[in-house]
């Protein structure tokens, strides 16, 4: 795997590159590009560190649209047009990219995400007041496999500040009525992947997409929680490869 540094508006944005493929992966709250290592090795493509994450520079981010701006610019520089794979907050970013910068989107893969991503207020308060406990709680909800949850809670605890920022942005993200009213229309190939046991963005959220996106295919992965790409990488990669091959 290779590290690439892009310069976008004088900011350094770091990207992990796997096998050559026109796919970009966007991580979720408090995570970074390394979340996608198994996908980069097996399926290929590029995983971005959003600003304020991993090895990318800090930037003032006011809403999900600001993240979308950086990812769209990265896609333009890297390959022009890509399959956009977004997990959780990254899925909200992917939807924004489709709405604001449709020319860079070949297809959408929405992973454990939703058209609205309200966050439990207790989590937001705890992240400020008791970051280690909050990190443990978020991790417990995020994984079906509690061994992995214990390991990952340390990562979330170290990143409590950026996790709070990301979850606050998620909490304000809401396209639910726009999908219902038809204001948001997705008419490109779309794959929905969700863990059967996802407690943060339940299967119901993906079913909502399925109902409102006529082209959407849906893959519910058994015995997986919100971090489906880490918990069931083989099943996840199979679903993604099948989808990409048909494009």
In the complex, the residues that contact ligand COA under the rule CB under 6 A are 88, 114-120, 123, 170, 176, 200-201, 204-205, 208
In the bound state with ligand COA, the residue whose beta carbon lies nearer, of 24 and 117, is 117
In the bound state with ligand COA, the residue whose beta carbon lies nearer, of 66 and 207, is 207
- CB count within 10 Å of CB 78 equals 19
Smallest separation (angstroms) from ligand COA to the CB of 162: 14
CA 156 to chain CA centroid, nearest Å: 16
| CA nearest neighbour of 176 among 151, 139, 203, 209 | 209
Smallest separation (angstroms) from ligand COA to the CB of 76: 27
Euclidean distance between the first and final Cα of the chain, in Å?
25
Smallest separation (angstroms) from ligand COA to the CB of 5: 28
Smallest separation (angstroms) from ligand COA to the CB of 27: 12
CB 97 within 8 A of CB 81: no
What are the residues whose beta carbons fall under 8 Å from the beta carbon of 87, sequence distance 6 or more?
25, 26, 27, 28, 31, 35, 111, 112, 113, 229
Smallest separation (angstroms) from ligand COA to the CB of 8: 25
CB 14 within 8 A of CB 39: no
CB 111 within 8 A of CB 91: yes
In sequence order, what E strands does the chain have?
A: 2-8, 11-17, 23-26, 46-48, 82-87, 105-111, 190-195, 216-221
Q: How far is CA 243 from CA 26, 85, 107, 135, in A?
A: 18, 12, 10, 34
In the bound state with ligand COA, the residue whose beta carbon lies nearer, of 173 and 236, is 173
Smallest separation (angstroms) from ligand COA to the CB of 87: 10
In the bound state with ligand COA, the residue whose beta carbon lies nearer, of 225 and 233, is 225
Q: Tokens 């008419």 map to which residue?
A: 187
């Amino acid at each position: 795997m290779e590290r690439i540094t892009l310069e976008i508006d004088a900011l350094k944005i770091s990207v992990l590159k796997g096998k050559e493929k026109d796919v970009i992966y966007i991580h979720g709250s408090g995570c970074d590009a390394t979340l996608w290592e198994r996908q980069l090795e097996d399926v290929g493509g590029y995983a971005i560190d959003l600003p304020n994450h991993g090895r990318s520079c800090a930037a003032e981010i006011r809403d999900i649209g600001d993240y979308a701006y950086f990812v769209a610019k990265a896609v333009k520089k890297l390959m022009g047009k890509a399959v956009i794979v977004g997990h959780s907050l990254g899925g909200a970013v992917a939807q924004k990219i489709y709405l604001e910068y449709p020319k860079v989107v070949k297809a959408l893969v929405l992973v454990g995400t939703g058209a609205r991503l309200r966050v439990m207020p207790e989590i937001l308060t705890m992240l400020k007041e008791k970051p280690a406990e909050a990190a443990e709680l978020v991790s417990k909800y995020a994984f079906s496999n509690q061994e992995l949850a214990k390991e990952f809670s340390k990562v979330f605890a170290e990143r409590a500040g950026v996790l709070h920022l990301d979850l606050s942005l998620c909490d304000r993200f809401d396209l639910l009525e726009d999908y219902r009213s038809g204001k948001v229309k997705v008419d490109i190939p779309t794959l929905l992947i969700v863990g059967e046991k996802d407690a943060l963005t339940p299967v119901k959220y993906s079913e909502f997409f399925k109902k409102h996106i006529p082209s959407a295919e849906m893959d519910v992965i058994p015995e997986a929680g919100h971090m489906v790409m880490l918990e069931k990488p083989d099943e996840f990669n199979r679903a993604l490869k099948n989808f990409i091959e048909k494009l």
